[in-house]
A and B are shown apart, each in its own frame.
Chain A
Amino acid sequence: MKQIRTITVLAYVVVSAGLVGIMESAATDVFLEATRPDFQKIPIGVLEFQGQRVPGEAAQRVAEVLKADLQRSQIFSVTDLAKLGIKVDEKLDLLNGAQLPLFKQAADNGVAVLVWGKMATRDTDLVFDGYAYDGGTAELLIGKRYAGGPPTLRQMAHRLADELVSRFTGEPGIARTKIAYVSDQRGGRELFVMDYDGETPRQVTADGFLDLTPQWSPDRRYLVFTAYRNRRKQTVDMIELATGKRRTLVALAGLNITPVFSPDGRYLAFATSQDGNSEIYTLDLRTNGLQRLTFQPAGDLSPFWSPTGRELAFTSDRGGGPQIYIMNADGSNVRRLTFEGDYNAAPAWSPRGDWIAFVCRTQEALFKLCLITPDGQKRLQITTGPGIDDSPSWSPDGRHLVFSSMVDDQSHIFMINRDGTERERLTKGGMRHSSPSWSPA
């Protein structure tokens, strides 16, 4: 039964999204591709939530977080219902077919999905009921009850947003993903983890000197990173987020940097200079077997797996300045990917496999983000402006990137759509935030 309903909903979405696309074509919004060039965002309206008896305007805050999530998702475009005069009685206890004129009004304005919710208190908990309806027929598509203490308010909104995204795309949403990054803390550079929208930053390490380049394990339980616990001896470490338990994975002679898990979590790729210059190795986490992949009298670093795990992109200055190369996971079949510009580094392969993001130096000698297809056929620059951009990292849905951008003394973490639009600053206080890495979904 549930299966049938899901299929119906999806069919509805495809058809209505197409129709809406035609209707919206004269609107001011320019829709850029989300997953395919002809993708049109689904117009969604969030009604005012009922929550009169709940202190702190909790219901409104959930609505605001939800709207931001939906807008960010690139699946939906959020319609301003108040502007259209579409509203519900603030005392409304249940929205259903009895308010059919309201749904008709929404449909007439092109709103394909309507969201309404109500919040109440139960002991010290907040209880939030969130509903999503077909804009035209008032058919109830989603009904969820979330309960938790007041600090869980944002999570409730994120959950409903993810529910909507997954219902309309069949893929997990990203509203409950996190971003690991490096931040100044009393002079040291420590690892932190924050929500994908920059909220609730949490400190992960307190080594007091320099920790860099965190990357997530596929199961989201661990971060692996470049660690300088000792100022002279530098290692690749792994930390379990839930417990803070720490292990050193690589302590070879020399610099051990830029670790990254393979997509199946079995291998670690990293760079070490134990051979005199920086070379890329893999470590089998099950057997502790090491394999050297590069053999060059040059710097090879920043390995990043393709989503299939069959190839690695990496930075190498074997041709003079740093450039992006690709090789098979066993080190064979090395080919140079970037030829434009004399400085290209820090590759990140998109989870869909279709693009590799990297840092490119422009003709004006600015460090910006570029994308290139793995066959090298298409290349484009996606950021502009004065900042020194670094460390691109993809969202698990492949629709967004985070990166750091430094202007004068300030370095912050930004989110952008993968075409470079809708730049949003995520880090708020502080001076220097860098090395962002987006968690899997």
Chain B
Amino acid sequence: MNTHMRMAGLAAAVGLLLVMGPGCSTKAVQTASDSESGEPAVSKEPPVSEQDLLAKSPSGSGPAGGSKEIQVAKVAPSDAARRHAEEVKKERAASALAGLQDVFFGFDSWNLSEDGKQALEADAQWLQSNPDKVVTIEGHCDERGTQAYNLVLGEKRAKAVRNYLVELGVGSGRLTVTSYGKERPFCNGHDESCYQQNRRGHIGLRVR
């Protein structure tokens, strides 16, 4: 397929995913966490009126430059954080109960170690004997480096895990890949023992 055709195909595929004009909602990707019901309350910057006291005509009164204040709507209270935290807890417990093992990486590396491969071989066996189960492979990083680069590094780790599981015969349709970079560490310390815990590919068993 030539590049032109690929770009055209891509654009068409993306067209389905992208949201068109303003006001259009994106039902395809919106989740239940949307609080689209009703107009959000705008916590307006309190207005300041401004008048130039040096202006020749006294009619120079009014909110000159008043439109420049950035207005921020008030956020509706949400229990999303609690819900996410509960789900994470449940998934971690389910992964532990199933005996699924995580894999660990060297600094700035996404290469699987021999230990890591062994762990994944056990995970693959479990997945093959539990064909109805699906997992999310989360890539994690230690706190060093930038947020953005660690998102990419975490994804490389998660994909290395996914690719090895696929190589071992697990259907790729049962494996979702994501990366949390350094944002969701397992260990909250700031030394190498913690860093090592956080350079991780986590096998999260999906709970329904």
Contacts and interface: CB of A to CB of B under 8 A. Distances in A.
Given A209-B80, A209-B81, A232-B136, A367 B45 contact: no
A255 B65 contact: no
B174 interface: no
A213 to B, nearest CB: 6
Contacts, number: 234
Nearest to A188: B81
Contacts of B29: 233, 235, 248, 251
A435 B183 CA distance: 12
Interface string A8-39: 00000000000000000000000000000000
Interface string B162-179: 000000000000001111
19 contacts: A143-B53, A144-B51, A148-B46, A152-B46, A176-B68, A187-B81, A205-B75, A206-B77, A207-B78, A208-B81, A212-B151, A213-B147, A229-B33, A234-B178, A277-B156, A288-B11, A289-B11, A299-B156, A391-B146
Interface stretch (A48-56, A98-106, A238-246): A238-246
Count class of interface residues, chain A: 35 or more
Given A206-B78, A242-B73, A367 B145 contact: yes
A212 B181 CA distance: 11
A246 B73 CA distance: 12
Interface of A: 1, 129, 131, 140, 142-149, 151-152, 155-156, 159, 176, 178, 185-190, 193, 202-210, 212-213, 220, 226, 228-235, 240-252, 254-255, 257-258, 271, 273, 276-278, 283, 288-292, 299, 301-302, 315, 317, 321-322, 343, 345-346, 359, 361, 367, 388, 390-391, 406, 408-409, 434-435, 439
Given A143-B52, A248-B19, A252-B17, 17 more contacts: A145-B52, A146-B49, A152-B46, A187-B82, A187-B85, A188-B81, A242-B71, A243-B40, A244-B40, A247-B24, A276-B159, A283-B18, A288-B15, A299-B152, A317-B152, A321-B108, A346-B149
Contacts of B145: 322, 343, 345, 359, 361, 367, 388
Contacts of B208: none
B152 A271 contact: yes
A149 B39 CA distance: 25
B78 A435 contact: no
Contacts of A155: 45-46, 48, 69
Contacts of B85: 187
Contact of A149 (B46, B65, B73): B46
Nearest to B54: A143
B148 A301 contact: yes
Contacts of B108: 321, 343
Interface string B127-161: 00000000010000001111111011101100100
Nearest to A195: B70
A271 B155 CA distance: 13
A188 B183 CA distance: 10
Given A186-B82, A288-B14, A129 B178 contact: no
Nearest to B35: A206
B148 A315 contact: yes
Interface in B1-41: 7, 10-11, 14-15, 17-20, 22-26, 28-31, 33-35, 39-40
